[in-house]
Structure 1
Amino acid sequence: MELLATLIARHAPDDGMYDMPVPGLALIRYSAPTDRVPVLHHPALCIIAQGAKVAMLGEEVYRYDPASHLVVSVELPLTGQVVEASPERPYLCVRVDLDPAMLGELMLDAPPAPGAESPRGLHLSRSTPELIDAVARYLRLLERRRDARVLAPLIRREIHYWLLTGDQAGVVRQIGAPDSRLSQVNRAIAWIRGNFDRPFRIEAVAREAGMSPSALHQHFKAVTAMSPLQYQKQIRLQEARRLMLSEARDAQAAGFQVGYESPSQFSREYARLFGAPPARDAARLRASPVLAEV
């Protein structure tokens, strides 16, 4: 783990999140604990080399550190908070995005591994030496750009392989299986993401997922810890926040654009999620943009 920490620190010299030129790789560094920050997390493997973090899914709290890693299997609105970090020992984390197609291909050849399937879209597991070694070699490609074009797909495939053959195999298999319940929920999530600014109709989402409305509600909540309607609300508020920060929209315009008809309802629900009304929250993030990347 010390090697992994050294590599992350070398390529992430200041606080923030860094998207790397190697496919599907990002590095994160913080030199102090952070506030709780709501984010939309994509399917990924996250390994902490130094420090600790808490991820919150609804009322559930997941704390992880160098002894364990986090796997997110669907797009989830999470709240993240770095809880252990200092200038002397900063929080250092690597994220590798997961590729369902790659997992599906590997499932044809990878030996079956134990591990019960879990409905939840967020999982903690112990970090094995094989997985840490593969991720460290993936980071080292940042210093060997000439080799990265050939080796990056191979090492990324190896990382996926170790996840498929580890104690999270039952969970990760669902990501690559097109007929799994997780894949059906993923189709529902994709529909909501593409239509978040329209009036919500559970029948349309269920039809897209290939499930009955009651089955969709049950399995969607099992995966995401929230109902489809609650998920849409989180997506709307996250997008409104992005519009205010990235496109300089005022709060009223952002609320209308994401589907809110009532400015007061938008302001109330925004403050409940982000801890401050829209305009005040946007001003705080513009003053400290690194907070939006936790």
Structure 2
Amino acid sequence: METLLERMRDIVERHAAHFRQETAVPGLTLYRVNQPVPPSHVLYRPRMVVILRGSKTIAAGDAPFLADISTFLLVTVDLPVCAQVFLDHEGRSHLAFSLDIDRAALAEAMAKMPPGGRAAGKPAGVTTAAMTPALLETFARLLDLLDAPGDIPFIAPLVVQEVYYRVLGSRLGDTLRQLALSGSHAAQIQRATQWIRANYAAPMAIDTLAEATGMSVTSFHRHFKAMTLMTPVQYRARLRLQEARRLLLADARSIGAAAAMVGYDSQSQFTRDYKRMFGAPPGVDVARVAGAA
């Protein structure tokens, strides 16, 4: 696998001109980090993340997950996380890529799968699993297309189908399968997270949200926390705070204006929540980030 990894690293290093580099392959994004960076609060959409050098941790709720060259990360729901990337032990660049999950293409792959399959645990919004030689080789062929752009329209969908085939046949098969099934708890919670994302600054009625997903309030709370590792209120708060920080950093908003724009009625509550999430009050945090830029 080391020879294969070196080939993949070479492709990423040649094609990733920036920290985050989108590619001509739909849904494929490259990452190249050349020096240590502080943790970042970002929103992950359903995707697979593969580390080629170095490692990455993400925290969803209070649960940490580690991904390195021996594993891959699977995210099946929109998820606000705290992510941090690490260089390798020799200080060389962190290299990785992610592949967004296309529900329609996933459903197509599922329809072609033989009946039966391997059992799996409960559906999860984020999890890691061991990287296998067969899956890594399939990912390598996807990266190879960056050197043959004319082949991308025809070959890329076929290789992505094989990626899904490999994961569906693994112990994470049911976790991935649930994302494509419209009546599954994973799909229902994904619809709820999409609503919260679109309406994070507005009042949120849990009973209405539960009814929209076809669940009782008790069932909705249980499945939402099982998938996202947060309650709906915690989930919305993280989205609000991420957007408020973006406003403060990018648009030079006042603290009160940013708090109001993301739905806070109380600036003091906003400041407490902000400090809890980012480790410092808004003014101190913004000055710290600006000073490090």
TM-score by length of 2: 0.91
RMSD: 1.9
List runs of 5+ in structure 1 lacking aligned partners.
290-294
Mean Cα displacement is larger for which, 123-132 or 32-41?
32-41
Q: 1:70 aligns to what SS in structure 2?
A: strand
Q: Which amino acid aligns with 2:237?
A: K
**Counterpart amino acid of 2:105?**
M
What corresponds to 1:228 in structure 2?
232
Higher relative contact order (CA 8 A, sep 6+): 1
Give the structure 2 partner of residue 83 of structure 1. Answer: 86
For 1:111-130, list aligned pairs within 5 A.
Answer: 111=114, 112-130=116-134
Q: Within 5 Å, give how 1:49-88 maps onto structure 2.
A: 49-85=52-88, 88=91
Tell me what 1:162 maps to.
166
Which residue is 2:13 aligned to? 9
Size of the aligned set, in residue pairs, is 288
Counterpart residue type for residue 205 of structure 1: L
Shift of the 198–78 alpha-carbon distance from structure 1 to 2, 3 Å rule, reads same
User: Is there any run of 5+ residues in structure 2 with no aligned partner, and where?
Assistant: none
Q: Say if 1:246 and 1:25 are closer, same or farther in 2 by CA, change over 3 A.
A: farther
**Deviation by residue 1:163-220 (Cα, 9 ceiling, x = unmatched):** 1122210111111111111111111111211211111211121121111111100111
After the TM superposition, which residues 162-201 of structure 1 pair with which residues of structure 2 at under 5 Å, given as runs? 162-201=166-205
Q: Does 1:257 align with 2:231?
A: no
Within 1, Cα distance between the matches of 2:218 and 2:63? 23
State the 1:158 CA deviation: 1.9
Q: CA deviation at 1:55?
A: 1.5
Mapping 1:237-276, distance limit 5 Å: 237-276=241-280
Q: Is 1:206 the counterpart of 2:210 in the alignment? A: yes
> Could you tell me the percent identity over the aligned residues?
38
* TM-score computed with the length of structure 1 as normaliser: 0.91
1:18 to 7, 17, 21: 21
Q: Report the Cα offset of residue 88 of structure 1.
A: 4.9
- Farther off after superposition, 278-287 or 221-230: 278-287
Change (3 A) 1:153 1:199: same
Specify whether residues 55 and 23 from structure 1 end up closer, same or farther in structure 2 by C-alpha distance, changes over 3 A only. same
Residue matched to 1:292: none
Deviations 1:66-117 (A, max 9, x none): 1110001101111112234367521111100111121112111112421314
CA distance in 2, matches of 1:21, 1:87: 31
Q: 1:288: Cα distance to partner?
A: 5.0
CA contact (8 A) 1:31 1:86 kept: no
The letter of the residue matching 1:263 is Q
Task: Evaluate the alpha carbon distance shift between residue 285 and residue 22 of structure 1 in structure 2; reply closer, same or farther with a 3 A threshold.
Answer: farther
CA contact (8 A) 1:33 1:85 kept: no
Q: Following TM superposition, where does structure 1 have runs of at least 4 consecutive aligned residues deviating by more than 4 angstroms?
A: 286-289
Distance 1:288 1:85 in 2: 23
Using the alignment, how far apart are the partners of 1:107 and 1:278 within structure 2? 46
Q: Which amino acid aligns with 2:27?
A: G
Instruction: Look up the SS of the partner of 1:79 in the other structure.
Output: strand
8 Å CA contact 1:84, 1:91 repeated in 2 = yes
Q: Matched residues in 1 for 2:137 and 2:203: separation?
A: 47
Give the counterpart letter for 2:82 in structure 1.
Answer: T
Q: Is the 8 A contact 2:249 2:286 kept in 1?
A: yes
Q: In the aligned structure 1, how far is the partner of 2:138 from the partner of 2:55?
A: 21
